[in-house]
Amino acid sequence: MKTFYPKKIFVEYGIADSPITLRILTKLPEVPIEYIDDYRKIAIQGDTINGVFKESKECLALAEKRGEMVKQFRCREGIRGGTEYNIIHGNNCLFDCEYCFLQSYLGNAVPTVFVNHDEMLREIRDTILSSGRKKSLFHAGELCDALAFDDLTDLSRKLVLLFSEFPQASLELRTKTTNIDNVIDLSARQKAGEGNVVVSWTFTPQDSIDLYEHKTPSLDERLEAAVKVQKAGFLIGLCFDPIIRCDGWFRKYDAMVTKLFNRLDHTKIKFVSLGGFRFLSSLANVIRERDPNSDILLGEFVPCVDGKYRYFRPLRVEIYRKLWNLIRKQFNDEKISLCMESHEVWNEVGAGENTKARLPDLTD
């Protein structure tokens, strides 16, 4: 994956002399720089909301994260989940997926890298130490792809080295990229440790990538990256999320799952997670404004307990059962999970095939 060359870089005055800022600017010579007070006040102009988003994706902001950089993730009432933490290392990314919840979640769409890494690493360390011997799971990739800017920031190196000190804690680096050079370079350290770093990819049938995941690597490119990371000694995760129900969806997923499991080392797959397309009404408004002809919202959606719209429950259960049974033919079904779903859906999916549907312990 080539280095992202933005049309413009916004740099906060307060971190202009940061070693990480200077490193990134050195790697992006001749890109115009605008110095600003606060990344949250960046306002990209455009004739349409779609134009604003597209222009924003061509920029990059370097900033300091104010407030917590490690936040505990708590599921809304009625949604199943465990105690996990999100590492806030950036906002947005260079990709432009039509379903991305960040379109209606953040103040702007400019990809933003937070450069106060020392503070971030200190917060992670403190959180792990405060947990004592209790296992804990940390995610990078919630508000910004975990590896999209890793060739610029080298953040994955710091995270992997930190987690090598704490075998009771696990780290998931979630990505759609092929930006894996730093991870592979750290393979010797990972092998010597406890194997507690998982690199996970969002995998989608190529037809859906073409329709909805703009500017992202292809299915084959993601698969090749995952193969290389496995060969380097890391465990990987497979995230089928969001699953978009369309004509021939199962045939397309069947072909994709077969391709993945034919290439990947099954013993080095930590988990498979399944999640249906879900959205708040605010995101639906943005999707319609950006592309009135988009068909991604043309489904039987209903409001759920957490305020998000999902496919009608019988449809979701059908999707999960079919994919669960497809995957379990080749993989330990105790490592398959549902993402952001209710206990009732878990029970229906599990009871449907006498399967005990449980949330895998990714820290095992």
- Higher pLDDT, residue 347 or 224: 224
The arithmetic mean of pLDDT across residues 326-332, rounded, is 86
Q: Which residues on adjacent β-strands are paired with residue 237?
A: 200, 271
Residue-level pLDDT at 232: 92
Tokens read off for 42: 């960046």
Return d(Cα 35, Cα 44) in angstroms, integer: 15
- Higher pLDDT, residue 306 or 10: 10
Characterize 61-98 residue by residue with b for buried, 16 or more Cβ atoms within 10 angstroms of its Cβ, and e for exposed: bbbbbeeebbbeeeeeeebbeeebbbbbbbbbbbbbbb
Beta strands 96-97 and 213-214, pairing class: antiparallel
The arithmetic mean of pLDDT across residues 149-158, rounded, is 96
Confidence category of residue 357, pLDDT binned at 50, 70, 90: very low
Return d(Cα 119, Cα 35) in angstroms, integer: 22
Residue-level pLDDT at 189: 57
Residue-level pLDDT at 2: 76
Return d(Cα 213, Cα 218) in angstroms, integer: 9
Contact 201, 175 (CB under 8 A): yes
Q: Which fold has domain 66-352?
A: pyruvate-formate lyase- activating enzyme (3.80.30)
Residue-level pLDDT at 363: 43
Q: Please state the domain extents for the chain.
A: 66-352
The arithmetic mean of pLDDT across residues 1-25, rounded, is 95
Return d(Cα 152, Cα 148) in angstroms, integer: 9
**Residue 364: is its pLDDT beyond 60?**
no
Residue-level pLDDT at 76: 55
- Cis check: omega of the bond before 29, within 30 degrees of 0: no
Return d(Cα 227, Cα 309) in angstroms, integer: 35
Residue-level pLDDT at 358: 43
Residue-level pLDDT at 36: 98
SS (H, E, C) the chain: CCCCCCCEEEEEHHHCCCHHHHHHHHHCCCCCEEEECCHHHCCCCCCCHHHHHHHHCCEEEEECCCCCCEEEECCCCCECCCCEEEECCEECCCCEECCCHHHHCCCCCCCEEECCHHHHHHHHHHHHHHCCCCCEEEEECCCCCCCCCHHHHCHHHHHHHHHCCCCCEEEEEEECCCCCHHHHHCHHHHHHCCCCEEEEEECCCHHHHHHHEECCCCHHHHHHHHHHHHHCCCEEEEEEEEECCCCCHHHHHHHHHHHHHHHCCHHHEEEEEEEECEECHHHHHHHHHHCCCCCCCCCCEEECCCCCEEECHHHHHHHHHHHHHHHHCCCCHHHEEECCCEHHHHHHHHHHCCCCCCCCCCCC
Residue-level pLDDT at 354: 40
Give the type of residue at 354: N
Residue-level pLDDT at 288: 96
The arithmetic mean of pLDDT across residues 18-23, rounded, is 97
Confidence category of residue 331, pLDDT binned at 50, 70, 90: confident
pTM: 0.92
**Residue 325: is its pLDDT beyond 80?**
yes
**Residue 261: is its pLDDT beyond 80?**
yes
**Residue 79: is its pLDDT beyond 70?**
no
Percent of the chain at pLDDT above 70? 91
Residue count of the chain: 364
Residue-level pLDDT at 131: 85
The arithmetic mean of pLDDT across residues 108-136, rounded, is 94
Confidence category of residue 82, pLDDT binned at 50, 70, 90: low
Return d(Cα 163, Cα 112) in angstroms, integer: 24
Return d(Cα 194, Cα 281) in angstroms, integer: 42
Confidence category of residue 360, pLDDT binned at 50, 70, 90: very low
Residue-level pLDDT at 304: 93
Residue-level pLDDT at 147: 97
Percent of the chain at pLDDT above 90? 79
- Higher pLDDT, residue 134 or 359: 134
**Residue 351: is its pLDDT beyond 80?**
no
Residue-level pLDDT at 356: 42
